[in-house]
Structure 1
Amino acid sequence: MSVYDCTVTTQPGPAPDDAKAKTHHVKDKSGNTVGFVNALPSFGRWKDISLLRAGFIFFRYRLQGKLPVPDTSHAKIPTAPPSFLPRRAGHPTLRTTWIGHATFFVEFPSGFRALFDPVFEEKFGLMSPKRIALSACKPADLPALDAIFLSHNHPDHFSDASLKELIARFPRVHFFVGLETGQWLRQLGASAVTEMEWWDDANVTLKKTQTATGGEKADGGADTISVQVSCLPSQHGTMRTPLDKDTALWASWGIKSGGKSVWFAGDTGYRTVPEGTDELGPGFDALPKNHHFKQIGEFRGPFDLGLIPIGAYHPRFMYSPVHASPLDAVEIFQDTKCKKALGMHWGAWALTSEPIEEPPEKLKEALKHKGLPEKGLFDVMPVGASRDD
């Protein structure tokens, strides 16, 4: 049975001049980093609102009827059986399988196999809604796994139960996470964790060994696999408990291997939209946008494929700082210089107030508004579907 040992070397990568100031770091009086912040104008006033105040605003809006719970009783989210590659190498394309929500399984032409924000459960917490479209598979169904990339530690992206199961099945799996995130993974049993800062790069080398492990099947593959990983900015936040808000760093990820590249946005906002603002109305384009995405395109792009959120956006005055709308997603797609994209972060749970099946239709409208083709450029897939690029 062939498996791979992984070695990782990290270093600061090419970065824009304004990255050197590290304005997303919160420092104490001694200059030590004690947390992180969205410091750009695109995050608006929310950076100054406490967790308690945000909770008060949420419940006030809910009582006022501004945050209705969508009816999911008749929702029909398209599904398909997943199709994984039978062997690690010998396929010239990049195969991407949408497991559901923000979870993707990506198989690179080099044989490198990566999993993004894995959550397989029907409920991601005791108080969470039930999943509308079930996960396309279970961890046991994955043929092999080299790395897991986590955008942040919110429970719909960072599931203790799923991660424990994955660690048990693939003991050698290597985690790539933002700063100060490794502590939770080590508590779950992870043995290989690389924490990274925005604009850091990692050179990853996988070398074949014959040592048996519990999860992987013998599936051939090259003796050595090379991967370049980039930890990149996003606009979101972190929190595992009410006492650790934004003490860990959120991130997006760029991965290149075997001549193909992917940018995984994770969970992100793009601009803060004031209440009553029409996304297609006058003045909307003048709202401050997060310029990091253009920098990602300039310093790490182009990418063959972007995995970009299109759901959990309504009402915009509440969620726009941290969740992209379909129109935001199209602009992020253009900024980051992705050649093609797939929409995610919809169809699993009713997290916000838009109808559960609305995001794909709004995506088509956004593409049309931007003068882009409605099919073949930025698409959505059924849960479980795979495609080759």
Structure 2
Amino acid sequence: MSASGKTYAGPPSDHFDGRQFFDPDGVPPKSLREVLRWQFGRGRQRQAWPEWAPSPHADTPPPRVDGDKVRLSFVGHVSWLIQTAGLNILIDPVWSERASPVRWAGPKRRNDPGIAFDALPPIDVALVSHGHYDHLDIATLSKLAARFSPRVITPLGNDVAMRRADNAVRAEAFDWHRRVELGSRLAVTLVPTRHWSARGLFDRNTALWASFVLETPAGKIYIVCDSGYGEGKHFRRVGEVHGPLRLAILPIGAYEPRWFMRDQHMSPSDAVKALDDCGAEQALAHHHGTFQLTDEAIDAPVEALHAALDQANIPRGRFVALKPGQVFEF
């Protein structure tokens, strides 16, 4: 942490220049000028979402799941509850009404979380991938800290924002490639991903971003909360270093317009290529259908995923898009 306590400070590395993080295999985030071009340029085709798109499902998880079984419950957007080996783990927990720094504006939730907050079992660990507001939700982390006091595992620098907002959040920050023991049969490794991070206008890439490889008794789960595809290097590298992978959780939404989003968010066809690259046996889709962050229609990601799977001759059952409240077990 810096002397002011406002940003991360540490030794330079192959992805940190002493002030900002960067992806050696990626590209910098778009400029403010390009953001304004997307938001206000001529010819923008932003598809309207329904004001409310409820899921027909709701989950009430068990207190614990023991043994080799893994139970995954889709909360919505990129939030999951993973239960295995007696531990309860949340991924990018967001229960707030908006993915925004303010309560009165910003992307608004279009369906309830698949698990009501009061129905959560005791939470032991939360994995938070990076600082964007649809992933790092301080209000939810504070509620979790007050009720369960879980460990919060996050990439370097995100702990600064968490502690500044609520010192009760038990944040632990780690660099890429660090393996962190979670329990006697569970561990997580932070791995590079093609993205970026910010909480405001003047803190771009002052905190790191990551994907996760979660080791469970039933196999490894590759959790990609946000990523562009690029040339697929990140996904092939994870498959080579951490494989075999039992499951990959891959983003399929927030990808239009492609000229703006391709470097930070995968399209459904990119996600199908990423599945092939990492070699996971099974994939689950997320990052769609809850917050309208970009221009595509609410149902476009799932329809495009099915088309991409069909074109690649991959059975649709190998890459499944759940609705909030649905459960996947292995």
Shared fold (TM-score, shorter chain, > 0.5): yes
Q: C-alpha separation between the residues in 2 aligned to 1:314 and 1:336?
A: 24
Q: C-alpha separation between the residues in 1 aligned to 2:324 and 2:65?
A: 23
CA contact (8 A) 2:195 2:226 kept: yes
CA contact (8 A) 1:303 1:338 kept: yes
Note the alpha carbon deviations across 1:101-123, whole angstroms, 9 max, x for none: 00000011x11211001111221
- Once the 2 structures are TM-superposed, how far is the Cα of residue 369 of structure 1 from its aligned partner? 1.6
**Aligned amino acid, residue 101 of structure 1:** H
Match of 1:104 among 80, 92, 107: 80
Partner of 1:232: 191
Question: Is 1:294–2:279 an aligned residue pair?
Answer: no
Number of residue-to-residue matches in the alignment: 315
CA contact (8 A) 1:83 1:386 kept: no
- Is 116-125 or 93-102 further displaced after alignment? 116-125
Query: Within 5 Å, which residues of 2 pair with 1:2-151?
Result: 22-25=13-16, 27=17, 33-40=18-25, 43=27, 47=28, 50=31, 52-59=32-39, 62-66=40-44, 68-73=45-50, 76=53, 78-90=55-67, 92-108=68-84, 110-125=85-100, 126=102, 127-151=105-129
Q: C-alpha separation between the residues in 2 aligned to 1:64 and 1:345?
A: 27
SS at match of 1:338: coil
SS at match of 2:181: strand
Question: Is 1:310–2:252 an aligned residue pair?
Answer: yes
**Aligned amino acid, residue 115 of structure 1:** L
- Once the 2 structures are TM-superposed, how far is the Cα of residue 99 of structure 1 from its aligned partner? 0.3
Question: Is 1:383–2:324 an aligned residue pair?
Answer: yes
- Once the 2 structures are TM-superposed, how far is the Cα of residue 63 of structure 1 from its aligned partner? 3.1
- Once the 2 structures are TM-superposed, how far is the Cα of residue 191 of structure 1 from its aligned partner? 5.0
- Once the 2 structures are TM-superposed, how far is the Cα of residue 260 of structure 1 from its aligned partner? 3.0
Distance change >3 Å, CA 228–CA 24, structure 1 → 2: same
- Once the 2 structures are TM-superposed, how far is the Cα of residue 22 of structure 1 from its aligned partner? 4.8
CA contact (8 A) 1:77 1:382 kept: no
- Is 346-355 or 188-197 further displaced after alignment? 188-197
Partner of 2:9: none
Distance change >3 Å, CA 318–CA 35, structure 1 → 2: same
Unaligned runs of 5+ in 2: 1-11
CA contact (8 A) 1:77 1:357 kept: no
- Once the 2 structures are TM-superposed, how far is the Cα of residue 76 of structure 1 from its aligned partner? 4.3
Note the alpha carbon deviations across 1:321-364, whole angstroms, 9 max, x for none: 10010011111112222111110000101111111111111111
**Aligned amino acid, residue 236 of structure 2:** K
Q: C-alpha separation between the residues in 1 aligned to 2:139 and 2:48?
A: 28
- Is 343-352 or 256-265 further displaced after alignment? 256-265
Q: C-alpha separation between the residues in 1 aligned to 2:200 and 2:51?
A: 34
Distance change >3 Å, CA 316–CA 191, structure 1 → 2: closer
- Is 184-193 or 329-338 further displaced after alignment? 184-193
Q: C-alpha separation between the residues in 2 aligned to 1:354 and 1:75?
A: 16
Structure label with greater radius of gyration: 1
Q: C-alpha separation between the residues in 2 aligned to 1:361 and 1:313?
A: 14
Match of 1:268 among 227, 231, 248: 227
Partner of 2:6: none
- Once the 2 structures are TM-superposed, how far is the Cα of residue 82 of structure 1 from its aligned partner? 0.7
Match of 1:157 among 135, 141, 148: 135
Partner of 2:145: 167
**Aligned amino acid, residue 184 of structure 1:** A
Question: Is 1:323–2:265 an aligned residue pair?
Answer: yes
SS at match of 2:82: strand
Q: So what's the TM-score if we normalise by structure 1?
A: 0.76
- Once the 2 structures are TM-superposed, how far is the Cα of residue 229 of structure 1 from its aligned partner? 1.1
Q: C-alpha separation between the residues in 2 aligned to 1:82 and 1:241?
A: 34
Match of 2:292 among 333, 336, 350: 350
- Once the 2 structures are TM-superposed, how far is the Cα of residue 381 of structure 1 from its aligned partner? 1.0
Match of 1:363 among 300, 305, 319: 305
Q: C-alpha separation between the residues in 1 aligned to 2:81 and 2:106?
A: 24
CA contact (8 A) 2:99 2:291 kept: no
Greater RCO structure (CA 8 Å; 6+ sep): 1
**Aligned amino acid, residue 24 of structure 1:** H
CA contact (8 A) 2:141 2:169 kept: no
Q: So what's the TM-score if we normalise by structure 2?
A: 0.89
Distance change >3 Å, CA 78–CA 204, structure 1 → 2: closer
